[in-house]
Amino acid sequence: MRNVFRVMGVGLIITLSGCQLLGSVFGAQDIFLNVRFSETNPSSSSLLRASTTTESDDPSVLYFGELELVAYSYRPGESVQNHQSRSGFSGSDWSYYVALASGYDWSRDILLSRGSQIDFSEVAGTDTPDVSEQFVNEVGSMRVDVFEAYLHRMGVVIDGEYFGMNAELNGLDWHPLHRSADLGEIPDFFADTYFQGFDDPDQNLNVFFVSNDWFTTPGRIRLQSTDYTNTELEVRDHTFDDGLSTEQESFILNLVNDGTTRRFYTSVVIVPYGAPVYIDFSQSTPLNVDVQFDLSGSVDWDQTDLEALRESSWTDGNLYFSADDNFIPFGLSVSFD
């Protein structure tokens, strides 16, 4: 059965992959989760159009300074969990499967252009997640309560110029688009990034695709640290009209407070995906995860001023991303099969 939840009628695809050889249990090429990003509106012209910028132009490329893609299963009180040491995640109530780990070269400086796809099993190369043999033998499958796409230090290409994080040697010692032969030397301008519905600039966006056992409506949650260390987080505010139940708040805080220590949780977008899906380690066919983006209308031109970004020195210009009424940016949607 195919579960699909769409927001703003847009598309991005993620395909999660990988598992290590477990003695005689799995072959070296076993894949249990395939993830792919896709941009579903290829109507833009060449990446390097003539410089006739008007502030109605949509980006031709979305830049991710770093990504992490993780499937989580909430299993409080269970003694057998699937953990992966390289993820930096140690939550005792959770099992998880890391499709793409942050902190590695292959998860950095990734470009999604109009009409293109990224297969993360190819991006990660030999970086395949380990799976506990005990978990496979005694549990066998993992329910996906949350699939997270962690988006870090983003930016856009508009009419042959780059605007966003990591530009002008702010955060990197090289051009942020250095992986592209066509774009690696275009003009780049630093900008702080704002996501609609979040008042403060943020270099991180945590997108939680959550089963409808936990959430049935989309929205956003802002978190804040109780001790200024980002290790004890609490809900600052949210956009759910009926409020967060005690169970929902505990669920989210349990995840973020026991989550990986390598990154941050401040701006969280909740996107319900439907009935729970499972990663079945006894099957040769993987669970496919398709995350879809639509870059049309993704920049808020009421607040973004490209000329101010060109003239600023890291401090005065901001890049504002638009979103739908539920604060979901980039027309994000997901499907599993």
Q: Is residue 24 part of a domain?
A: yes
Per the domain annotation, does 70 fall within a domain?
Answer: yes
Query: Would 299 be classed as within a structural domain?
Result: yes
pLDDT tens digits, one per residue of 290-328? 999 999 999 999 999 999 999 886 666 799 999 999 999
Residue 307 neighbours by CB under 8 Å, 6+ apart: none
Write down the pTM of the prediction. 0.86
DSSP structure string for 105-128? GGGEEEEEETT-EEEHHHHSTT-P
Token pair in block for residue 204: 């991180």
Q: Is residue 48 part of a domain?
A: no
In a domain, 215, yes or no: yes
Q: Which long-range contacts (CB under 8 A, 24 or more apart) does 282-286 make?
A: 282/136, 282/140, 282/141, 284/30, 286/16, 286/17, 286/31, 286/32, 286/33, 286/34
Confirm whether 50 is domain-assigned.
no
Residue 49 inside a domain? The answer is no
Domain that holds residue 281: 3-43+57-336
- How many folded domains does the chain comprise? 1
Is residue 209 in a domain?
Answer: yes
Position 231 scores a pLDDT of 67
Please compute the mean of the pLDDT values over residues 166-176 and round it to a whole number: 91
Q: How do the residues of the chain divide into helix, strand and coil, expressed in percent and rounded to 5?
A: 10, 35, 55
The secondary element (H helix, E strand) that includes residue 136 is helix 133-138
Distance CA(80)–CA(99), nearest Å, equals 20
Read off the pLDDT band of 229 (50, 70, 90). low
Percent of the chain clearing pLDDT 70 (strictly above): 80
